[in-house]
Amino acid sequence: MTVPHAPDLVFLYKTKSGACGTVIRNADMKVVDTITGVSLPRNKSGEICIRGDQLMKGYLNDPEATARTIDNDGWLHTGDIGYVDDDDEIFIVDRLKELIKFKGYQVAPAELEALLISHPYIEDAAVVAMQDEVAGEVPVAFVVSSEGSQVVHYKRVNMVFFTDYIPKAPSGKILRKDLRSRLANGPMNLS
């Protein structure tokens, strides 16, 4: 395994919460767009790639795996999704193989999990891809409610749909009939 940062030396420096260190000396690092391979600026998430004399030359007796991992310019593609901030600190936010491909977009499960876990009544959460005929994959969350949650198990919401708006009458009353109609037309017609 190649370690592109110095996690054991983090205690020597004042690091930010969630940072996993800085690039070690004599190593180059870049963050690339996961689709185009183009280098990204600081604070933009993409695949972390590293290069240097201290890296492995390849996998023993496995040229195909080597070709998938190390490109022609010597960059080792780590499979980690992350970014480098303005202070040269590295943040790893997910793994490339965990990205959910939703309608051509790449969704990082860890980003959604962090949002869910920030709710006071959610103790833990995990997001995975579910196959979908229209979208390819859709994110699905598994949630563990905290002890402070007051909702009994049979009243818990089983599905959540994000939408651009909630249909309402001029009085402000929710038009549930319209929502049921959108639901009947299929989950991808809900926005």
Q: Torsion-angle region of residue 148: left (phi > 0), alpha (psi -120 to 50) or beta?
A: alpha
pLDDT of residue 30: 97
0.85 surpassed by pTM: no
Weakly modelled stretches of the chain, pLDDT under 50:
1, 9-10
**In which residue are the tokens 């994959």 written?**
137
pLDDT of residue 1: 47
Taking only the tens place, the pLDDT of each residue in 137-153 is 989 898 888 887 777 77
pLDDT of residue 13: 58
Domains and CATH numbers, the chain: 7-95 (2.30.38.10), 99-158 (3.30.300.30), 161-191 (no CATH)
Instruction: Provide the Cα torsion 115, 120, 126, 131; round to 10°.
Output: -70
pLDDT of residue 10: 47
Residue 150 in tokens = 């007051």
